[in-house]
Structure formats: structure tokens, C-alpha cells
Structure 1
């Protein structure tokens, strides 16, 4: 189960973000977090597969289409493996500045 918890301009993501979770979240992806969200805080993600990474990048794309520069911050240790494997450093920030 994946949870999105709004905290000001940050939305904390926790739980599993795998293919099954992405399927259940897909139809509501445009309204998962508040429109003023600037950061998706990812340290609470326990497990993420390639579908989850693609979903996070889709959220960034949706935000960009609305004129918002959404930053993916504080990836969990498990998620960092995907970032390195797929050379996604440009999309993820270690900590919110």
C-alpha cells in the first residue's frame, strides 16, 4: 500500500510503489497531491520497482504541464539503487534545499 501525506508544500510518499500500486494509483495520478506541492519526499518508500520509478517521473511530468517544478527528494536506500542503475540523478535530489 502506498500513502501520500501532504505536509505544507511537501508530499511524503511511503509504502510500496510497485506495479500493483501503480495500477491502483494511475487513474487518480493527476490529483494525488496538492497543486502547490514542490517536493515529493521519498524516504518512506519501502520498495519501488521500475513501474514505481516511471510513475514518479510521470508525476513530475504532470506537475510540469501545470507549470510546477516538482522535485523528488530524499530517496530511500532501495530507490537509490534504481537511480544509480538507470542514471536518474538529474530527477532526484538527496535532500530538500
Structure 2
């Protein structure tokens, strides 16, 4: 299961963000982050599958609809592999800038 830790305008996600976690988190997805959150730190994610990535993109879309930019940063090693495999650099800004 994934857990969220809010620290000011940054939120960190740790654990497993897989289909099972997404199903459990889906109904509360709009309340998981403080309204002024501008960054999600992903370095604590141990495992993420396509449902987890879709969930992260849903969170960014929700904030974008409210006129706020939400950055996804510091992807874990496992998540970086997923980003590269599926060419998702445009959504994970930090990785695109680093060229990893």
C-alpha cells in the first residue's frame, strides 16, 4: 500500500503504488494532497505499475483543472525504469531534464 506524507507544499509517496493501492485510494484521490501542494516526491515508491502511473497522472490532471501545476519529482529507481520504458519523460519533468 502507498502512503502519503504532506510537508508544506510537498507531498512524498512511499510504498507500493499498484493496482490494488489505486483501487483503495481512488475514492479519496482528491483529498490525499493539501490544496496548495505543488510537488510530489516519488523517491519512496518501492513498486509502481501502470495503474500507479495513471493514478499519478490523474492527480496532476486534477490540479491542472484547478489551475495549479503539480510536479512529479525524484522518481525511484524502479519508477525511472518504467518512465523510460514507456517514454513518459514529458510527465515526469525532472527525469526529462536530467536525460535519465
TM range (shorter): over 0.9
Which runs of at least 4 in structure 1 moved beyond 6 Å after TM superposition?
none
Match of 1:32 in 2: 32
User: What's the TM-score once normalised by structure 2's chain length?
Assistant: 0.91
Match of 1:19 in 2: 19
* CA RMSD after TM alignment: 1.0
Match of 1:66 in 2: 66
Q: Which runs of 5+ in 2 are unaligned?
A: 96-100
Partner Cα separation in structure 2 for residue 78 and residue 94 of structure 1? 15
Q: Which runs of 5+ in 1 are unaligned?
A: none
Deviations 1:5-34 (A, max 9, x none): 001110000000000000000001111100
Query: How many residue pairs get matched?
Result: 95
